[in-house]
Amino acid sequence: MESTAPRTRARADTGPEADGSPSAFEPVTVTARYRAPRAGIDPDRSRRWLRRALPIVGAHKAMFLTALLASFTSLVLTAFIPLLLDKGITNSIQHHTVPLHFYVWWIIALGLAGGLAGYVSRRFLFQTAYRIEFDLRGIIYEHLTRLSFPFYDRVQSGQLISRANSDIRSVNMYLTFAPMVLVQCSIALVAFGFMLSIDVPLALVAMATMPFVFVVGVRMRRSMFPVSWLIQARLADVATIVDENVNGVRVVKSFAAEGQQLRSLARSAEKVRWSYVKDADLRARFTPTVQNLPQVGLALVLMLGGYLIINGHLGVGAIVAFNSWLIMLQAPFMMLGMIVMMGQRAAASAERIYEILDEKPTVVDRPGALDLERCRGDVRFDSVVFSYGDEPDAPRVLDHFDLHVAPGETVALVGRTGSGKSTVARLLARFYDADGGAVRIDGHDVRDLTLTSLRARVGIVLDEPFLFSVSIRDNIAYGRPTADLDEVVAAATAAGADGFIRELPEGYDTVVGERGYTLSGGQRQRIAIARTLLVNPPMLVLDDATSAIDVQVEQEIHAALRQLLGGRTTVVIAHRLSTISLADRVVLLERGRAVAQGTHAELLATTPLYAEVLAQGDPEAAGPHRRALDGGVR
């Protein structure tokens, strides 16, 4: 089954574009390279966890039912063997009325047929298990890609990794193997029927312990659920610590904090150990009872059956058959305790998974959203109010912020740390929605535009670029995977990255380390700039994108950018004077508002706060000896 991205229907035609920008936006339907899940989790939160997961199992019902039917067939065929033993001992050994080889061949035939059915059962069962696990991973990952940035702001990555791995495995194991064990336990009914056909009182004695097995199993389930939840939660805490230490290994080592982190991990691991010990204690209390109660039935059968044989009321073959059936029942009932344990862990894991799947994205396409076509790049912030977090008293990052960027204009945003500069970029690409006011592009509120077309038109280069653990060529071509090598090289050249890339051992085919840390900060920034330039968006945001690049290389990049920015609407978030020099206009932000704007020279002359902010970010930028030199900077 293939998964395709839906086509959007309505389009926003806003007139001709600037030269060099892409033509009209064309929604692309991408054929998935994997089999999309046939079903999802039931969204009804009022249902029990197992009911919510049944649609996924139902999507593979043909294979799963075949596995269960084959398992039941194998067990039934196996259950016939003790009956043949009884007949063989009675008719062939005691009474000599039937040749012994008759029963021998029948037992061999049933054994072979049961083995074949068992093979089919196990093969289909494991195929079903792997497909369900595949579907669960696909469902969770697809949902994670739809969730908005506020979700990731408050959720730890280690928690997500744990729920997408160990929790999925727990749920999958129970969904597939619990029905199989129940089928195996159902053979007790078949065996009980055979027992009744031989001797009713002895059959009742043999099954007398089964109600007690059920009662103990229920008590075990109730006792183990809280502990199972605790285990999964604490395993996620350990995963979070490990994930943060791996990603932050440079910080840990720079502060020589290995011992501190080991103590933190040891404390979390000790909590996991306590949970596991508690879990083992509960299993030690209940599991032996569940497993050994059928053996009590075996002793009762031996006692009563022996009495009946001694008094001539029952044949020796019958007692052999009864013992065989009871031994046959021991294995599934021994597994019953394990299934109870797995069920409680699966229930805890399912609830943790549902916490993610029940999370709704906050930034989504509105009904009837338009595609942004023929983008001119006219950007306007109309009295925008925004704060991070849903709390009513959360501080405002932008407070009635107003800004207009004309098509093709380059505007630099300057302000203290926390003044809202980066937030402007995030709202423009609609990573978040404004709490009040509106962000407009070519007269359209960005909330009325499709996310796909909007983000295809707005290119953002962040100050801390993220690179994937693939080749440099693939990193640059991330936004346009079909781009040829010449286009990739052209973008890298414009970003000042071609020189150092060619010096690497494998050039553009060099695979960068995790998060790109095998490269310097400046090299990562240049690759990130090239990645955005290759997409060639009509609107560009440079969020302090050259902060880690030395002055000489930065000048070369700026020389290339001046040509590339011509006719392109650009917002430059700047701290350095060299970056501000790219702008036609400078806007000063303070406490979430635009308090002044003009050229660099005008703001230096009229706004003391501007010089103060520049002095904090670039101490020489506002110095008297630089003003004469900077007089020509706009």
The answer to whether residue 513 scores a pLDDT higher than 90 is: no
Quote the pTM value.
0.71
Confidence class for position 566, pLDDT limits 50, 70, 90: low
The answer to whether residue 24 scores a pLDDT higher than 50 is: no
Confidence class for position 21, pLDDT limits 50, 70, 90: very low
Q: Which two structure tokens, joined as six digits, stand for 394?
A: 């959360």
pLDDT value at position 319? 79
Q: Which two structure tokens, joined as six digits, stand for 525?
A: 């920034």
Torsion-angle region of residue 443: left (phi > 0), alpha (psi -120 to 50) or beta?
A: left
**Which is higher by pLDDT, 107 or 297?**
107
Point out the least confidently predicted range of 81-95, 348-362, 597-611.
81-95
CA terminus-to-terminus distance, the chain: 57
Residue type, 533: L
Question: Which of 519, 619, 628, 607 shows the shortest CA–CA distance to 576?
Answer: 619
pLDDT value at position 138? 84
Torsion-angle region of residue 72: left (phi > 0), alpha (psi -120 to 50) or beta?
A: alpha
The answer to whether residue 26 scores a pLDDT higher than 60 is: no
Confidence class for position 116, pLDDT limits 50, 70, 90: very high
Question: Three-state SS for 582?
Answer: coil
Q: How far is CA 534 from CA 30, 466, 469, 531, 558, in A?
A: 20, 16, 19, 5, 16
Question: Which of 380, 363, 369, 401 shows the shortest CA–CA distance to 443?
Answer: 380
Point out the least confidently predicted range of 126-140, 215-229, 550-564.
550-564
pLDDT value at position 5? 40
pLDDT value at position 437? 92
Confidence class for position 362, pLDDT limits 50, 70, 90: confident
Q: How far is CA 356 from CA 46, 51, 139, 390, in A?
A: 16, 17, 11, 18
pLDDT value at position 339? 76
Tens-digit pLDDT profile for residues 31-84: 446 667 778 888 888 888 888 988 998 889 899 999 999 988 988 888 888 888
Query: Of the segments 31-45, 123-137, 577-591, which one has the largest average pLDDT value?
Result: 123-137
Query: Are the CB atoms for 401 and 43 separated by under 8 Å?
Result: no
Output DSSP code: residue 5. P
| Cα(278)–Cα(225) distance, integer angstroms | 12
pLDDT value at position 554? 65
Query: Are the CB atoms for 491 and 484 separated by under 8 Å?
Result: no
Residue type, 98: V
Secondary structure of 544-572 as H, E, C letters = CCCCCCCHHHHHHHHHHHHHHCCCCEEEE
The number of beta carbons lying within 10 Å of the beta carbon of residue 617 is 20
Q: Exposed/middle/buried for 187, CB within 10 Å: 0-12, 13-18, 19+?
A: buried
Cα angle 477-481-486, degrees, rounded to a multiple of 5: 55
CATH superfamily of 49-357: ABC transporter type 1, transmembrane domain (1.20.1560.10)
Confidence class for position 626, pLDDT limits 50, 70, 90: very low
Q: C-alpha 293: how far from its chain's center?
A: 43
Q: Which two structure tokens, joined as six digits, stand for 499?
A: 């020189």
Query: Of the segments 114-128, 297-311, 573-587, which one has the largest average pLDDT value?
Result: 114-128
Q: In which order are the strands placed within the sheet that holds 379-386?
A: 398-405, 379-386, 436-441, 444-445
The answer to whether residue 99 scores a pLDDT higher than 90 is: no
Q: How far is CA 574 from CA 44, 83, 350, 584, in A?
A: 48, 87, 46, 13
| Cα(620)–Cα(146) distance, integer angstroms | 45
The answer to whether residue 206 scores a pLDDT higher than 70 is: yes
Confidence class for position 573, pLDDT limits 50, 70, 90: confident
**Which is higher by pLDDT, 619 or 558?**
558
The answer to whether residue 19 scores a pLDDT higher than 70 is: no
Residue that is written with structure tokens 């991973």 in the block: 137
Mean pLDDT of 490-517: 83
Mean pLDDT of 555-573: 72
Q: What is the fold of 377-632? A: Rossmann fold (3.40.50)
Tens-digit pLDDT profile for residues 145-198: 888 888 887 877 767 777 777 788 888 888 888 888 888 777 777 877 888 888
Tens-digit pLDDT profile for residues 239-274: 777 766 666 665 665 556 667 777 877 888 888 888
Percent of the chain predicted with pLDDT > 70: 82
pLDDT value at position 410? 86
Q: Exposed/middle/buried for 576, CB within 10 Å: 0-12, 13-18, 19+?
A: middle
pLDDT value at position 385? 92
| Cα(146)–Cα(349) distance, integer angstroms | 22
The answer to whether residue 618 scores a pLDDT higher than 70 is: no
Mean pLDDT of 546-550: 63
Query: Are the CB atoms for 630 and 601 separated by under 8 Å?
Result: yes
Confidence class for position 557, pLDDT limits 50, 70, 90: low
Rounding to the nearest 10 degrees, give the CA dihedral for residues 587, 588, 592, 594: -50
Residue spans per domain, the chain: 49-357, 377-632
Average pLDDT over the chain, rounded to an integer? 79
Percent of the chain predicted with pLDDT > 90: 10
Q: Which two structure tokens, joined as six digits, stand for 116?
A: 């074949």
Q: How far is CA 201 from CA 186, 192, 195, 197, 314, in A?
A: 21, 11, 9, 11, 12
| Cα(84)–Cα(79) distance, integer angstroms | 9
